[in-house]
Amino acid sequence: MRSLFFAVVLFMLTPDNGEAWLGRAIAIADGDTLTIEPIDGGMPRKIRLYGIDAPERRQPGGEAARGVVLDSALYQLVNVEPVGKPDRYKRTVAIVYLPSGVSLQVQLLQAGLAWVWPRYCRNCEAWQALQDAARRSGRGLWADPDPVSPWEWRRQKR
């Protein structure tokens, strides 16, 4: 009975139950993956930003995308809103809101440093409009007339 109690408590402190939670970003892997430590306790969680794909670190624009996330989110209190199930790497897929109320996804798309990922983004017309505006103005990745999407870049590297 005692172990059941601790299992329930641990589950309640584990922020992967689909509800939004607050945390502090403690590590930035790249432009679309970061580690966030819940402020209410629990283990740090790897977060994969929902609906977008930023360039890989070795890909053109990859360090710039990581830099935006680093400058915006590291050690900041953020709101994590999980979307669906964890990905194949067991990362929580989520929308991450900064203290300003703007999501990291929006910030990256406005800067022209991420693509809307059609395969994994549902009802993302507003985000697509942000990407299109960045493309038209030549911001970020769109300064290159023919940038390679991260999913295509990864496929080419295999």
The yes-or-no verdict on residue 8 having pLDDT over 80 is no
Active-site residue flag, 19: no
pLDDT digits (tens, 9 = 90+) for 73-102: 999 999 999 999 999 999 999 999 999 999
Q: Report yes or no: 49 and 104 within 8 Å, Cβ to Cβ.
A: yes
Whether 56 is a known active-site residue: answer: yes
Does residue 11 register a pLDDT over 70? no
Active-site entry in 2, 24, 37, 56: 56
What pLDDT score was predicted for residue 157?
A: 85
Residue 9: per-residue pLDDT:
33
In this model, does residue 27 exceed pLDDT 80?
A: yes
Distance of CA 54 to the CA centre of its chain: 9
Give catalytic status of residue 154 as yes or no: no
Q: Is the pLDDT of residue 45 over 50?
A: yes
Amino acid at 103: S
129 pLDDT more than 90: yes
Q: What is the pTM of this model?
A: 0.87
Q: What is the reported pLDDT for 122?
A: 84
Give whole-number Cα distances, 1 to 5, 9, 42, 137, in Å: 6, 13, 22, 62
As a whole number, the mean pLDDT across the chain is 89
Exposure b/e, 106-138, CB count within 10 A at least 16 = b? bbbbbbbbbbbbeebbeebeebeebbeebeeee
In the set 48, 58, 63, 122, the catalytic residue is 48
Q: Which of 91, 125, 152, 158 is catalytic?
A: 91
> Could you give the domains of the chain?
14-157 (2.40.50.90)
CA dist 149 and 39 (Å) reads 34
Mean pLDDT over 25-35 rounds to 97
Residue 128 near residue 116, CB atoms below 8 Å: yes
> Which pLDDT belongs to residue 16?
53
